[in-house]
């Protein structure tokens, strides 16, 4: 068997990330059922344990038309695009969707979606904000129990503890491989461009996780074998909800900015914590959610530790600055921004906030901002 080169492997990930439709059709043609998983913190292991494919429904770009009837214009495109895809028939091949309601925008989305697309089996998921106390863990467990029952009804089979334990193992392996890739991509920016880095991470939402891990393990071992990088450009940390816009990422590449770490909801926030060992796999899943942290979407009893976390991540990974991709109309991120900016300023870490959404077509202003930021960073090197 001939080994693929790093470039060939990266292109494979890119093809999948760029064409989720083909990927979905492949699974359906193979006799699988697929369940759409909306952001954030869906326990995908339950879907896998029901012998179905969890399929990510976030990150698409394009124009929003039909969904506008259901939302005021100040709703983020994460919510609007999810409904737009459904209204345009793009989710027709799914056997159901799981929709969390963790922010004030997702909550109305759950209701609007249900009323707009009544034919698609709908699984509502309410995570608790007080997730760590025993009652919070119990609540998560009961919510996951209800998701499990609905998935069993769709699949027509029971989810056994042993299938769930196996799914947890597959997902923990996937998380570990993705964390390793993030490190290696940061160490070898000459081999992994910002666009390819995003494609590797995004494709995981559209692939069977075991398949994704197998391909990623091959890529990781080839990246590990590379000689030490002699990167002459800048190094940045990316923060935000989504960071998959090829246009924006190309601007980073054009200005020799390597992404060495991230605090992006669709990227590292989604795989930084494994499901812990526990005899009861449902308890294990609930404990994983209880342990989640450093996210603007999650209640922080210690009053906003995330800015400090972003400062530490930036320093630990040798980044010279932070690029914040600020999703338009994302209340949680916008409200937290002043404290993040203050912490970065205090730590003498330059940062820039780029407003964007999934309908963005004109990248001129972002290019100007990032060009100026690249100049600031090069003076810091």
Closest approach of ligand SF4 to the CB of residue 300, in Å: 15
Alpha helices by DSSP H, listed for the chain, are: 6-18, 20-29, 44-49, 77-87, 106-116, 134-155, 161-187, 194-203, 209-224, 246-254, 281-291, 306-316, 331-346, 364-380
CA distance 298 to 267: 16
Please identify which residue in 90, 107, 331, 369 interacts with ligand SF4, judged by CB under 6 A.
331
CA distance 189 to 223: 10
CB hemisphere CA count around 277 (13 angstroms): 0
Which residue number, 23 or 358, has a Cβ lying nearer to ligand SF4? 358
Closest approach of ligand SF4 to the CB of residue 309, in Å: 17
Which residue number, 297 or 323, has a Cβ lying nearer to ligand SF4? 297
Which residue number, 103 or 290, has a Cβ lying nearer to ligand SF4? 103
Q: What is the DSSP string of 12-39?
A: HHHHHHH-HHHHHHHHHHTT--EEEE-S
Which residue number, 27 or 205, has a Cβ lying nearer to ligand SF4? 205
**Binding-site string for ligand SF4 from residue 284 to residue 303, where x marks contact by CB under 6 A and - marks none:** -------------x------
Locus of tokens 């910002």: 194
78 neighbors 58 (Cβ within 8 angstroms): yes
Please identify which residue in 16, 67, 76, 287 interacts with ligand SF4, judged by CB under 6 A.
76
Q: Are strands 257-264 and 351-356 parallel, antiparallel or unpaired?
A: unpaired
Closest approach of ligand SF4 to the CB of residue 338, in Å: 16
Locus of tokens 């990150």: 59
Per DSSP, the three-state class of 257 is strand
Window contacting ligand SF4 (CB under 6 A); options: 21-29, 122-130, 277-285, 327-335: 327-335
Using CB under 6 A as the binding rule, whether residue 241 contacts ligand SF4 is answered as yes
Using CB under 6 A as the binding rule, whether residue 340 contacts ligand SF4 is answered as no
Query: In angstroms, what CA-CA distances link 216 with 28, 41, 96?
Result: 23, 22, 28
Closest approach of ligand SF4 to the CB of residue 95, in Å: 23
Closest approach of ligand SF4 to the CB of residue 269, in Å: 11
**Count residues contacting ligand SF4 (CB under 6 A)?**
13
Which spans of this chain sit near ligand SF4 (rule: CB under 6 A)? 76, 78-79, 103, 105-106, 241, 297, 327, 330-333
């Amino acid at each position: 068997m001939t080994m693929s080169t790093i470039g060939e492997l990266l292109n494979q990930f890119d093809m999948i990330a760029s064409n989720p439709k083909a990927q979905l059709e492949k699974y359906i043609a193979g006799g699988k059922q697929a369940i759409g998983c909306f952001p954030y913190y869906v326990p995908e292991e339950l879907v896998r344990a029901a012998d179905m494919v969890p399929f990510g429904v976030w990150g698409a770009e394009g124009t929003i038309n039909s969904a506008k009837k259901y939302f005021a214009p100040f709703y983020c495109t994460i919510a609007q695009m999810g409904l737009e895809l459904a209204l345009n028939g793009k989710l027709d091949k799914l056997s159901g969707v799981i929709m969390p309601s963790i922010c004030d925008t997702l909550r109305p989305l759950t209701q609007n979606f249900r009323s707009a697309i009544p034919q698609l089996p709908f699984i509502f998921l309410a995570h608790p904000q007080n997730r760590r106390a025993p009652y919070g863990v119990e609540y998560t467990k009961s919510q996951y129990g209800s998701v499990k029952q609905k998935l069993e009804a769709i699949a027509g089979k029971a989810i056994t503890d042993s299938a769930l334990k196996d799914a947890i193992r597959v997902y923990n392996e996937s998380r570990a491989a993705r964390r390793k890739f993030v490190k290696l991509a940061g160490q070898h920016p000459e081999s992994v461009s910002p666009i390819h880095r995003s494609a590797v991470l995004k494709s995981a939402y559209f692939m069977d996780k075991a398949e994704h891990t197998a391909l990623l393990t091959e890529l990781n071992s080839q990246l590990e074998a590379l000689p030490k990088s002699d990167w002459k450009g800048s190094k940045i940390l990316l923060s935000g909800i989504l960071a998959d816009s090829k246009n924006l990422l190309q601007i980073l590449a054009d200005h020799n900015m390597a992404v060495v770490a991230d605090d992006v909801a669709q990227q590292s926030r989604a795989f930084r914590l494994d499901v812990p060992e526990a005899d009861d796999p449902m308890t294990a899943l609930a404990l994983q959610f209880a342990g989640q942290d450093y996210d603007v979407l999650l209640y922080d009893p210690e009053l906003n530790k995330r800015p400090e976390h972003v400062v530490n991540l930036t320093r630990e990974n040798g980044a010279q600055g932070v690029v914040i991709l600020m999703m338009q109309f994302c209340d949680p991120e916008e409200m937290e921004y002043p404290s993040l900016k203050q912490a970065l300023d205090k730590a003498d870490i330059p940062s820039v906030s780029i407003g964007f959404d999934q309908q963005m077509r004109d990248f001129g202003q972002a290019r100007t901002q990032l060009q100026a930021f690249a100049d600031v960073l090069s003076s810091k090197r």
